[in-house]
Structure 1
Amino acid sequence: MLCPWRTANLGLLLILTVFLVTECTHSEAEGAARPNNSLILQDSKENLALASSSSCMDGTQITQNNSAFPTEVNTSWPILMGENAVLCCPPIALKYLIIITWEIILRGQPFCKKAYKKETNETKETNCTDERITWISRPDQNPALQIRPVVITHDGYYRCIMGTPDGNFHRGYHLQVLVTPEVTLFQSRNGAVVCKAVAGKPAAQISWIPEGDCVTEQEYLGNGTVTVKSTCHWEGHDVSTVTCRVSHLTGNKSLDIELLPVAGAKKSAKLYIPYIILPIIILIIVGFILLLKISGCRKYKWNKTEATPVVEEDEMQPYASYTVKNNPLYDTTNKDGK
């Protein structure tokens, strides 16, 4: 004799078994017909491993769950001039790709486009003239882009578009090229201290320790860099050493300079020398000339006084000689007359 409740349980078990078999068969057929995002993301681990080996600039990690990768990701990337850059595409499995496209928008340059079509296994470039921007490898093996080396003109926006049966996935990079400024510190002739951050990108920030009476100027150069100049005075302050601090995205730098207190005194003395020494020299010269004149006048008068008798004696001597010489004749005449 059959039990009704046992018969019911057997029937329910049979129905459940048929339902599960049908569902599994349907799922396998659907999966074979069209890959879903979960399969694409799971297989994209191969891309991540390849990107890591190529030092890709990639901050996105694929999780173990079935969460879908966002259709568009944008990243700001400051990079130092002279370094090498590797830009990655979204981590999508290469076997599901239809087309890969890199769009490059640089300042002051035409729109550049690099594309790879998997069906025909061919690459195409449009308005791409910079030979330093290339595929890092064969696009069908690694779609990443490389820049070797980075220069100022590489400032711009780079976007990788990967076309798949499930749609397009985007990854963009706002590339900002940084240039380290050259820092100098010196004291000018007028006593001011000048700190310069030459040809930096972006413009550097200059501060002083201690703070003084400062004027800051910026000079924009044609290549996109900026020179910052700060001139400071510390007049009336007891300052012996000052520090110039330059802040920049590439790193900070500090320079010290010693201001000797005697430097200002020597400078003041040099400024007053023409006004103090020159009048003294002029007075000495004038006094010496007057002294010479006075001495010359006295000597002239003295010589004149002594010279007068000599002249009279000299004038009388011819007469005396004449008289003496004539006396003998006079005497002879007188004798003959007698």
Structure 2
Amino acid sequence: MEGLAIAYTSLSVPVDTKAVLCCPPILLTTVVVATWEITFRDNSSCTRAYRRDNNETKDSNCTDTRITWVSRPDQNPALQIDPVATTHDGNYTCEMVTPNGNFRHGYYLQVLVPPEVTLFQSGNGTAVCKAAAGKPAAQISWTPEGTCVTEQEHWDNGTVTVQSTCSWEGHHVPNVSCSVSHVTGNKSLSLALGPGVGILGFPESSLLIILCMKFSLFLIILVIVVKRINDCRKE
């Protein structure tokens, strides 16, 4: 009787670790052929096969030396990737051919990359939180909340850089913190804002102009007062 059992599993693995992908749990003594069919994210493909009758392994287009059998395929036809890289994203399917039918198990492999998180104050008086080259894209939130613009930049290796730029116009905000949420772990950074962020929402250059105008007005008033005092003494 011809039988077919198909199952698909989503598998997320951190970059630079080892991944092990298993075939269906079939009695190995009944397996005639075990085959791994791999389709990578860039649509390139690779096939690894083992035939029990002549104890032979065969590869087709498999040039990545990081993808190997876990051990002897007659003992364990599982596949391993060591170490995992972003180029290993894709579909991996193991098919076991037996006298009782063919059995398959498939994986969708997603490689996770933690982003590099930085927080700094920019020259125009805003605060910038960046989660660089993460996979998948990270999420950024602020404390306290401000007026923010978030941008994403996608890279060829599947990673994404997320940058959030915030200002707090009309509020006195001496300290801010940004929280980056990611499947590989969360991170929070804090920053003491310098004079570049105006208390009343003015940029640093505008505040300097205002201070100069106030000082000039003070000097004018002082000159007028001194002149009047001198005039009174003359009288």
Q: Conserved in 1, the CA contact under 8 Å of 2:14 and 2:112?
A: yes
Matched, 1:207 2:145: no
1:138-287 to structure 2, matched below 5 A, reads 138-259=72-193, 264=198, 267=204, 268-272=206-210
Distance 1:274 1:223, change over 3 A: farther
Asked if structure 2 preserves the Cα contact closer than 8 Å seen for 1:106 and 1:157, the reply is yes
**Matching of residue 119 in structure 1 with residue 53 in structure 2:** yes
Distance in 1 separating the partners of 2:185 and 2:208: 42
Measured in 2, the distance between the counterparts of 1:150 and 1:252 equals 22
Distance 2:146 2:18 in 1: 41
Q: What percentage of residue pairs aligned between the two structures are identical?
A: 58
Q: C-alpha distance in 1, partners of 2:31/2:133?
A: 44
Identify unmatched segments of 5+ residues in structure 2: 220-235
- C-alpha contact 2:125 2:196 (8 A) present in aligned 1: no
Residues 1:128 and 2:62 are matched in the alignment = yes
Q: Is the 8 A contact 1:179 1:225 kept in 2?
A: yes
Write out per-residue CA displacement over residues 108-129 of structure 1, whole angstroms, 9 at most, x where no aligned residue.
2432111111111111111111
What is the TM-score with the length of structure 2 in the denominator? 0.83
Deviation at 1:276, TM superposition (A): 7.1
Distance 2:192 2:198 in 1: 13
- Aligned pair in 2 of structure 1 residues 280, 261: CA closer, same or farther (>3 Å)? closer
Pairwise CA RMSD: 2.6
TM-score, scaled relative to structure 1: 0.58
Contact 2:126-2:196 within 8 A present in 1 as well: no
Structure in which a larger fraction of residues adopt helix: 1
Matched to 1:94, the amino acid is L
SS at match of 1:271: helix
Query: Taking structure 1 as reference, are residues 240 and 276 closer, same or farther at Cα in structure 2, changes over 3 Å only?
Result: closer
Hey, what's the Cα distance between the residues in 1 that align with 2:101 and 2:197? 74
**Aligned AA (1:217):** E
- Alpha-carbon spacing, 1:262–1:133, altered in 2? closer, same or farther (3 Å): closer
- Within a 5 Å distance, the mapping from 1:279-318 to structure 2 comes to none
Give the secondary-structure state (helix, strand or coil) at the position aligned to 1:264: coil
The Cα of 1:143 is off from its aligned counterpart by 0.5
Q: 1:223 to 1:271 in 2, by over 3 A?
A: farther
Q: Deviations over 1:155-183 (max 9, x none)?
A: 00101111111101111111000110000
Alignment length (residue pairs):
214
Q: Over alpha carbons, which structure has the higher Rg?
A: 1
8 Å CA contact retained: 1:240, 1:261: no
1:75, distance to aligned residue in structure 2 (A): 0.7
Which has the larger share of strand? 2
> Which residue number in structure 1 is paired with residue 12 of structure 2?
78
3-state SS of paired residue (1:170)? strand
Secondary structure of 2:145's match? coil
**CA 1:262–1:137 in structure 2 vs 1: closer, same or farther (change >3 Å)?**
closer
Q: 1:151/1:253 Cα in 2 relative to 1: closer, same or farther (>3 Å)?
A: same
Distance 2:105 2:94 in 1: 5
Which amino acid is the alignment partner of residue 180 of structure 1?
P
SS of equivalent to 1:199: strand
Distance 1:153 1:278 in 2: 64
Greater RCO (CA < 8 Å, at least 6 residues apart): 2
Alpha-carbon distance in structure 2 between the residues aligned to 1:276 and 1:210: 31
Deviation at 1:260, TM superposition (A): 5.5
Task: List runs of 5+ in structure 1 lacking aligned partners.
Answer: 1-35, 37-68, 282-338
